[in-house]
Chains A and B, each alone.
Chain A
Amino acid sequence: KAGVTQTPRYLIKTRGQQVTLSCSPISGHRSVSWYQQTPGQGLQFLFEYFSETQRNKGNFPGRFSGRQFSNSRSEMNVSTLELGDSALYLCASSPPGTGMNTEAFFGQGTRLTVV
């Protein structure tokens, strides 16, 4: 079974630009979550999508948005990039089911550098 795939792996953008990152979950997983990882702030939750609906949202400005497609693939978009958006963006997918059996599997991440 293929793991969680994120593209691209590396990205360099200029301040003010916008960027779209992609995440393909493990086959059969319907929940996709996004996290921002920085040296100073650790792993911060951005949002979670389940069956094309945003189920949870973290404390990030409206410049950060996402969506999920019917095949469970997800994209996140950051508009008007700022230097502070430089980070590793990780997505995680979780198997279907409710209750306690919800392990999260991470992709390798997209390293975004804003210059």
Chain B
Amino acid sequence: GENVEQHPSTLSVQEGDSAVIKCTYSDSASNYFPWYKQELGKRPQLIIDIRSNVGEKKDQRIAVTLNKTAKHFSLHITETQPEDSAVYFCAARGKRAGNMLTFGGGTRLMVKP
């Protein structure tokens, strides 16, 4: 089955700096890669996703890149703000796997004011 690894597990940055979180996946058939943000005590919420037919997607300060050959994808947050502090999860879904998502282990991002 699919295996997703996520690094780093914790990331501390100064407000205004950029943050990058990286994930690798094992199933070359995976075609959908969402990123979720989970604030303390709240549900995971989708912040951006990318499908296997594109290499990059951007939404304001957030961008995701996908390298299908290397089977890795990354989340980039620019001009970080204290409210970006949360746990971020990457996930992958394979074409044959229904709606099952395989998640990475999560990254705790701390943005220091």
Contacts and interface: CB of A to CB of B under 8 A. Distances in A.
A43 B102 CA distance: 8
A90 B41 CA distance: 12
What DSSP secondary structure best describes chain A's contact surface?
strand
Given A100-B31, A100-B32, A90 B104 contact: no
B32 A102 contact: yes
A103 B46 contact: yes
A90 B43 contact: yes
Interface string A104-115: 111111000000
B70 to A, nearest CB: 21
5 contacts: A33-B99, A45-B103, A103-B34, A103-B49, A105-B46
Contacts of A106: 36, 43-45
A55 B98 contact: yes
Interface of A: 31, 33, 35, 42-45, 48, 50, 55-56, 58, 90, 92, 94, 100, 102-109
Contact of A42 (B89, B93, B99): B89
A43 B99 contact: no
A35 B97 CA distance: 15
A101 B42 CA distance: 24
A92 B106 CA distance: 18
